[in-house]
Amino acid sequence: MRVARTIAEARAFRAAAEGAVGLVPTMGGFHAGHIALLAAARAECDAVVVSLFVNPPQFGEEADLLAYPRDEEHDLAVAAEAGVDIAFCPAASEVYPAGFQTWVDVTELGSMLEGVHRPGHFRGVATVCLKLFNIIQPDLVYFGQKDAQQVEVIRRLLRDLDLEIDLHVLPTVRDADGLALSSRNALLTPDERRRALALPRALATKDPDRARTELDGLAVDYVEVAPFHPPVLAAAVRVGTVRLIDNVVLDEEEAHEHQAA
Nearer to ligand AMP, 10 or 26 (CB): 26
Q: CA-CA distance, 52 to 99, in Å (whole number)? A: 23
Query: Is 34 among the catalytic positions?
Result: yes
The nearest distance, CB 94 to ligand AMP, in angstroms, is 18
Asked whether position 26 contacts ligand AMP by CB under 6 A, the answer is yes
Contact residue for ligand AMP among 22, 33, 57, 124 (CB under 6 A):
33
How many other CB atoms are there within 10 angstroms of residue 144's CB atom? Answer: 22
DSSP state of 174: B
The count of residues interacting with ligand AMP (CB under 6 A) is 17
The nearest distance, CB 51 to ligand AMP, in angstroms, is 9
Considering only the stretches 6-14, 41-49, 63-71, 166-174, report the one whose residues sit in contact with ligand AMP under the rule CB under 6 A. Answer: 166-174
DSSP string computed for 87-122: EE---HHHHS-TT-------TTTTTSTHHHHSTTHH
Alpha-carbon Rg for the chain in angstroms: 18
Nearer to ligand AMP, 33 or 90 (CB): 33
Asked whether position 37 contacts ligand AMP by CB under 6 A, the answer is yes
Question: For 250, phi and psi rounded to 5 degrees?
Answer: -110, 150
- Cβ partners under 8 Å of residue 240, min gap 6: 188, 189, 192
128 sits in the region (left: phi over 0; alpha: psi -120 to 50; else beta) called alpha
Asked whether position 181 contacts ligand AMP by CB under 6 A, the answer is yes
Asked whether position 173 contacts ligand AMP by CB under 6 A, the answer is yes
Asked whether position 255 contacts ligand AMP by CB under 6 A, the answer is no
Nearer to ligand AMP, 249 or 257 (CB): 249
Considering only the stretches 12-20, 30-38, 84-92, 116-124, report the one whose residues sit in contact with ligand AMP under the rule CB under 6 A. Answer: 30-38
- Dihedral over Cα of 2, 127, 142, 36: its sign: positive
Do β-strands 232-239 and 219-226 pair in parallel, antiparallel, or remain unpaired?
antiparallel
Q: CA-CA distance, 120 to 135, in Å (whole number)? A: 23
Contact residue for ligand AMP among 144, 200, 208, 231 (CB under 6 A):
144
The nearest distance, CB 148 to ligand AMP, in angstroms, is 9
Residues in contact with ligand AMP by the rule CB under 6 A: 26-27, 33-34, 36-37, 143-144, 146-147, 170, 172-173, 180-183
**Catalytic residue list:** 34
